[in-house]
Amino acid sequence: MSADLSWFDTEDGRLAYRDLGAGHPLVLLHAGFLDHHMWDHQIPPLAARYRVIAPDARGHGTSANASRPFRHTDDLAALLRHLGVGPAFLVGVSMGASIAVDTALEHPDLVRALVVTGAGTSEPEFTDPWTVTAFGAMTAAMATGDLEGAIDACTLFAAGPYRTLDDVDPDVVRRVREMERRTMSKHTADESDPLIPVPDTWARAAKITAPLLAVNGGLDSPDHIGMAERLAGLVVHGSRATVEDTAHYPNLERPGVYLEILLSFLDTLTHPQD
């Protein structure tokens, strides 16, 4: 657990988050089954320039599980309003990217710009055989309570469809598995899913006016890259970047390169050219 972890009390339990630095608010949103620790390499340099807020989504990391229907975007909006911040830069990977987009749709007053990685909206469309097989294996393992099988299947996204886990930095694999274990061990096979979907996200995305950058790992699956790039093409102000030689978690595999791309994008917004 992070030594500087803070807590936000909601009507359905406590949500954990880190809140460091000063300046314009920048929110880091983690991928599904992971937690705020996926941003450990980016938080210190970002907190030197921004107020960095890195929450654990409900049901992830050290945040409470849901006991009633909820939406991740509403949890995030409640946290930001509790902290009195916004509009904020929202930066998300995978599920975190979807939460960022949902927030731009549902709570646009809280969003200044978006950076999304490996996802489009919260209505994913998977057609690539590798992605379908990987998600199927993870879902099947979770449905039977096979924790180790679910972790093994989920960790494959760190490698992507073109590599094996032996090709990935062992420290990245270790960190991913540790985060997955923290989150997956909080859940049981027979529990219901109270997450309420945000409707018509793809149809509504074209109305997002906040600047958006899609940053994908060059070795991620065609589905994940395609959804992020489709989103960048739909919004009013969209752009794209690639972190080569990485898959679904480019901020973990090449943290310095990801940070450089992120800061360059943020600089264009905070210090626009005359």
Residue 134 lies in a domain: no
Residue 170 lies in a domain: no
What's the pLDDT band for 190 if we cut at 50, 70, 90? Answer: confident
Q: What is the pTM of this model?
A: 0.97
Residue 75 lies in a domain: yes
- Across residues 263-272, what is the average pLDDT? 90
Q: Per residue in 214-246, pLDDT tens?
A: 999 999 999 999 999 999 999 999 999 999 999
- Does 155 have pLDDT greater than 60? yes
- Across residues 64-82, what is the average pLDDT? 97
- Across residues 36-44, what is the average pLDDT? 97
Residue 144 lies in a domain: no
- Does 274 have pLDDT greater than 60? no
In what helix (H) or strand (E) does residue 264 lie, and over which residues does it extend? helix 255-270
Cα(4)–Cα(236) distance, rounded to whole angstroms?
Answer: 37
Q: Are 89 and 214 in contact (CB under 8 A)?
A: no
CA distances from 205 to 21, 91, 161 (A): 31, 17, 28
Residue 206 lies in a domain: yes
Residue 132 lies in a domain: no
State both tokens at 112. Answer: 């200044």
What's the pLDDT band for 270 if we cut at 50, 70, 90? Answer: confident
Total tally of structural domains belonging to the chain:
1
Residue 211 lies in a domain: yes
Q: What is the CATH number of the domain that holds 263?
A: 3.40.50.1820
Name the residue range of residue 234's domain.
Answer: 6-126+195-270
CA distances from 124 to 21, 42, 150, 200, 231 (A): 33, 26, 20, 12, 11
Residue 106 lies in a domain: yes
